[in-house]
Amino acid sequence: MGPATARRIVERFGNDTLEVFKFYPKKLAEVKGISEDRAEEIAAEFNEKWGLWQIVEFLEKFGIGPSNSKKIYDKLGANAVEKIEDNPYILVDIAYGVDFFKIDKIAINLGIEINSFERIKAGIKYALLLASYNGNTCVEEKVLINFVKDKLNASEEYIEENLISLKASDEIVLESRDDETDWYYLKPLYTAEKNVAERIYMMNRSKNVKHIDNFEKELAKQEKSLEIILSEKQREALKGVNENNVSIITGGPGTGKTTIIKSLIDIYKSKKKKVVLCAPTGRAAKKMSEATGEEAKTIHRLLEIGKIDDDRLSNVDADFKPIDADVIVIDEMSMVDIFIMNYITKAIYLGTKLVLVGDSNQLPSVGAGSVLKDLIESNTIPTVNLDKIFRQAAKSDIIVNAHKVNNGEMFVDKKEREESNNDFFYINEQNVEKIVSQIVSLSTGRLSKYGDYDFSKDIQVLTPTKKGALGTKELNRVLQENINPEKEGKKERKYGDITFREGDRVMQVKNNYDIFWDREIDGFYETGTGVFNGEFGKIEKIDNEEKQIKIEFDDGKIAWYMFSELEQLELAYAITIHKSQGSEFNVVIMALPQAAPMLLTKNLLYTGITRAKKLLIIFGSGNVVKYMINNSDSKKRNTGLKYKLINILK
């Protein structure tokens, strides 16, 4: 039922509402808009869901929200509460992101022993799960034992016994490597790595059925048609695609990756071959489409992944409909984690060419794994690293400085530049109030002399952190106040500590596969479901009566959100650099405050710089910038894909 009907029911029956649903359903027909037949339907559905509602209330004390509660109810059934009371640790296996230590405290209060098998097994699995949240696929044995021993105050003897038991039940896997180190995996993470390594090996070994003869001749035609001269590295990359079933093309901005993709499309299409383009996010796919003039899909849409991606640990062995293509090109490969790579390799026919394009110096994937880096470092896949900046691109201070940062050097001195687009400005400032004032000024019209820039369409503020005066939360509040202030007649809705207002720029921050949307493009009306993490939109209308918000997304989709669904949205005047990956903006204004060292890394700065297309303005103290440029020790991820690729024949 809608919120208006629900409200009328509660207004009519007050504290007796639940009693009416359960025992006197016909009384619901006393409420305007509910017939007797509808009253019985509503009551029947209520009683069917009563078990779910009970578990929602029960799980609140474990710090588990409604969406995870439904998942737990679906898995454990009507007796979920009793099963959890018998062994609260089963929640670690079912609910993503649970607080193990809250569960542990309740379990001990229920009388579960410190060294009980249930407790230590759950502690081991939680430690491996926690490592995966930080990007690792595995944990070294001694580190794992010490973590569990320290956090659970458990005996090492019992931990080792439980490791043996978990291996025997096939819940975890031990990988003993050539360097005499032992690594533990959750079984699904091990399986994902093993699947990828085996499929890549098989693809590489398969017959090259899509090979084009007289390829040099095709390259000459391509140069003539595009009126360009391909560099040696570009020619090498294109030949590599022709000679191999799997190939990697990597390089920074301005090094010619897009020219290679366009040439590749033209050559293979001229031979009646089907080329499929895809990228990890909607914005990255849109960028790929704009650069090539060809349709590019998100990997999720291409594979029709749907909800299985929200339960990756249970769906690692899922099968996918094979992709109908002769050549598949994946852009922004640095964003692809081990689970997505597992899905991709399962969906490719042997003989189809796979071309992986990316920049290994950008931030790694949000999910577990270090796929692009591991593939390159394994030296098992032909890789071309584009390191030459083309003359046109070399005029851009954005591109030149991106490469400077990547090489561990400070920003270029403009006096040394003969030719420059004047598209990069660094303001050495550490006073936070001055930086905020400058950001507001630049976001509200001061950039007009540089171009006709509209904030909602062209400008994006980036920062490494969510916290502090230069974090996303505070910057969003200040920018909203100045760009879209409170006004009589302009409706708003508070959710948590965020006030959403008509006209606000927002971002979807989690996948919603079920939400309905419609849009009109070139006179054609289209409907569908699904809005995904990272999509930007604008609040068009807030309906306080029906408790809904209407959002138009940048690609024209229009969707309505219930007020109860607003946890899926955040204000997007300012976003973190992590959230910007895979996107490009005409203008980027970047704040670099003092923050946790793990956030102030070279690849974070490099990623932020490479988000700007036409203009980049950076604020921050020289000390912070120098620290980031020199901090190339981004947290190393513990993975085993490289090892598996190298040792696949052993």
Q: How far apart are CA 625 and CA 615, in angstroms?
A: 19
Number of other residues whose CB lies within 10 A of the CB of residue 221: 14
Phi, psi (deg, nearest 5) at residue 523: 85, -5
Q: How far apart are CA 91 and CA 108, in angstroms?
A: 15
Single-letter residue type at 187 = K
Q: How far apart are CA 47 and CA 493, in angstroms?
A: 32
Tokens for 77? 């059934």
Helix axes 66-76, 36-59, angle to 10 degrees: 100
* Residue-level pLDDT at 67: 65
176: region left, alpha or beta (phi > 0 left; psi from -120 to 50 alpha): beta
Output the CA angle 329-246-275, nearest 5 degrees.
30
Buried b (16+ CB within 10 A) or exposed e, 437-467: ebbbebbeeebeeeeebebbebbbbbbbbbe
Q: Which residues of the chain have pLDDT under 70?
A: 1, 62-63, 65-67, 95-97, 307, 309-310, 391, 415-416, 633-635, 649-650
C-beta of residue 542 within 8 angstroms of C-beta of residue 445: no
C-beta of residue 137 within 8 angstroms of C-beta of residue 183: no
Q: How far apart are CA 129 and CA 116, in angstroms?
A: 20
440-446: long-range pairs with CB below 8 Å, 24+: 440/478, 440/479, 440/482, 442/589, 442/617, 443/479, 443/482, 443/483, 443/573, 443/589, 444/482, 444/483
Buried b (16+ CB within 10 A) or exposed e, 287-300: bbeebbebebbbbb
Single-letter residue type at 178 = D
447 HSE (CA, 13 A, CB side): 24
* Residue-level pLDDT at 40: 85
Single-letter residue type at 162 = N
* Residue-level pLDDT at 169: 94
* Residue-level pLDDT at 105: 84
Q: How far apart are CA 578 and CA 586, in angstroms?
A: 18
Alpha helices (runs of H) in 62-140, residue ranges in sequence order: 66-76, 80-86, 90-94, 100-109, 117-133
C-beta of residue 267 within 8 angstroms of C-beta of residue 210: no
